[in-house]
Amino acid sequence: MAFRMFHEQDCDVSKLDGKKVAIIGYGSQGHAHALNLKDSGVDVKVGLRPGSKSKAKAEKQGLEVVSNAEAAKWADIIMILINDEYQAKMYKEDIEPNLAPGKTIAFAHGFNIHYGCITVRPDCNVIMVAPKAPGHTVRSTYVEGKGTPCLVCAHQDATGDAFDLALAYGAAIGGARAALLETDFKTETETDLFGEQNVLCGGVTDLMEAGFNTLVEAGYDPRNAYFECIHEMKLIVDLIYESGFAGMRSSISNTAEYGDYTAGPHVITEAAKEGMRYNLKRIQNGEFAKEFLLDMSEESHQVHFKAMRRQQAETLMEETGKKIRALYAWNDEDKLLNN
Ligand SMILES: NC(=O)C1=CN([C@@H]2O[C@H](COP(=O)(O)OP(=O)(O)OC[C@H]3O[C@@H](n4cnc5c(N)ncnc54)[C@H](OP(=O)(O)O)[C@@H]3O)[C@@H](O)[C@H]2O)C=CC1
Ligand SMILES: CC(=O)[C@](C)(O)C(=O)O
Ligand SMILES: [Mg+2]
Ligand SMILES: [Mg+2]
């Protein structure tokens, strides 16, 4: 299937006129969607669970917070932006009993629909508007008058205009200022899980940490290793973001560019590529999803996840990084950690 690409001129945001939009969850994506939609003139309410630590923040930012059930009853479009591992239970308990024909259920990631954890009644729409960006950047770029690309699709079209609603929603959160690329739930789920595991989060952090540890184990100062392998990464990736690999390579030295070509393949070897193919297979056959949901279940107390998080936080690299970042008055370490 040849997926189409859309921009602002292709989207009719007036499709949301008179539509009531509930954002369930107020975390990384939730706060961005709610605030961007509100700033785009959309009628928004936030659904949160009793005792939610996000409630005060949402209300402080001028949003009305109601229960999930009230939100689902009130809204025409219900965007589910809570943790993937919690969505199926919350949907069954709070959303499903409050649906009516013609409502729209929306997602920013296809996990729960693709793996069959959630099934939506056929007389309701199911759409996706999945930013290809962290939620905080979805918000910050919108405020700057820019936007982040989103993948969009209509999985169920009960009203005949589900895809138009997805385009309108994508435009209202700023995505059409960048691009809205058509997708389907299988494609978005598998490519997003692959990208976050093998490149954006899993891959690049392991690469950076391996570089840091190699230098430290060889006796170099951890601060030097941190500047070289962690801190400068943003500066290099910023150049790639703006001008691609060739643009970045036009800015670095010939020495670095030569080493890039000759040494890089000794790091990302055939074994690394085989690892990527192994990880993709586990995503496609559901093994990753099964392992994730089991490990993240309430019964498991998330002991494995919490142990991995703790182990990753208690490293010389993280300790070195905290000291380095504290050097910069302009760096607000707590901005994300306490947001
Ligand atoms: N993080 C990202 O940048 C991206 C995320 N996505 C997708 O967006 C979705 C949301 O992820 P993300 O924004 O990272 O989530 P976060 O973990 O950042 O936030 C989760 C939010 O959900 C709330 N929440 C948790 N359980 C419930 C519940 N039962 N009822 C109501 N609210 C609840 C939490 O509130 P509290 O704990 O205070 O109650 C919190 O506000 C996921 O599908 C994810 O895959 C897609 C693209 C990028
Ligand atoms: C930020 C993003 O796109 C991710 C990595 O897919 C996610 O947070 O799930
Ligand atoms: Mg992603
Ligand atoms: Mg993701």
pLDDT for res 338 = 58
Residue type, 199: V
**Alpha-carbon span 121 to 202, nearest angstrom:** 36
Question: Does residue 304 carry a catalytic annotation?
Answer: no
Number of Cβ atoms within 10 Å of the Cβ of 232: 11
Q: Is the pLDDT of residue 2 over 90?
A: no
Pick from 200, 288, 336 the residue to mutate for probing ligand 2's pocket: most ligand atoms within 8 Å of its CB. Answer: 200
| pLDDT score for 114 | 98
Asked if the model's pLDDT at residue 131 lies above 80, the reply is: yes
At 52-104, the pLDDT tens digits run: 999 999 999 999 999 999 999 999 999 999 999 999 999 999 999 999 999 99
Neighbours of 224 (CB within 10 A): 13
Ligand 1 atom nearest residue 26's Cα: 41
- Ligand 2 atom 8: the closest Cα is on which residue? 134
With a 6 Å cutoff on the Cβ, whether 199 touches ligand 2 is no
Q: What local confidence, expressed as pLDDT, does residue 194 receive?
A: 98
Determine the pLDDT at residue 334.
63
The residue assigned the tokens 């729209």 is 104
Task: Answer whether 188 contacts ligand 2 (Cβ < 6 A).
Answer: no
- Mean pLDDT of all residues in 309-314: 97
Task: Inform me whether the pLDDT recorded for 169 exceeds 60.
Answer: yes
**Distance (Å) from CA 54 to ligand 1 centroid:** 10
Q: What is the pLDDT of residue 328?
A: 83
Residue 335's pLDDT band (boundaries 50, 70, 90)?
Answer: low
Indicate whether 145 pLDDT > 80.
yes
Could you give the domains of the chain?
Answer: 5-184 (3.40.50.720), 196-326 (no CATH)
Contact criterion met (CB below 8 Å) for 198 and 206: no
Burial class (CB in 10 A: 0-12, 13-18, 19+), 322: exposed
Give the pLDDT mean for 314-324.
96
pLDDT digits (tens, 9 = 90+) for 5-16: 999 999 999 999
| Ligand 2 contacts CB of residue 196 (under 6 A) | yes
Which among 28, 36, 140, 151 is the best mutation to test ligand 1's pocket, defined by most ligand atoms within 8 Å of the CB?
28
**Cβ–Cβ under 8 Å, residues 160 and 154:** no
Instruction: Render pLDDT for 152-168 as a digit per residue (tens, 0 to 9).
Output: 999 999 999 999 999 99
Q: How confident is the model at residue 329 (pLDDT cuts 50, 70, 90)?
A: confident
Give residues (CB < 6 A) around ligand 1.
24-30, 47-49, 52-54, 68, 81-84, 86, 90, 108-109, 130-131, 134-135
Which of 109, 114, 231, 304 is the catalytic position? 109
Residue range 25-43, pLDDT digits in tens:
999 999 999 999 999 999 9
Contact criterion met (CB below 8 Å) for 98 and 87: no
Q: Which amino acid is at 54?
A: S
Residue 133 confidence (pLDDT): 98
Which candidate, 115, 123, 69, places its Cα nearest to that of 96? 69
ipTM of the complex: 0.98
Distance CA 8, CA 13 (A): 9
Per residue in 208-253, pLDDT tens? 999 999 999 999 999 999 999 999 999 999 999 999 999 999 999 9
Mean of pLDDT values over 137-148: 98
Which residue has the CA at smallest separation from atom 4 of ligand 2?
196
pLDDT band at 332 (very low <50, low <70, confident <90, very high): confident
Short-list 21, 59, 64, CA closest to 40: 21
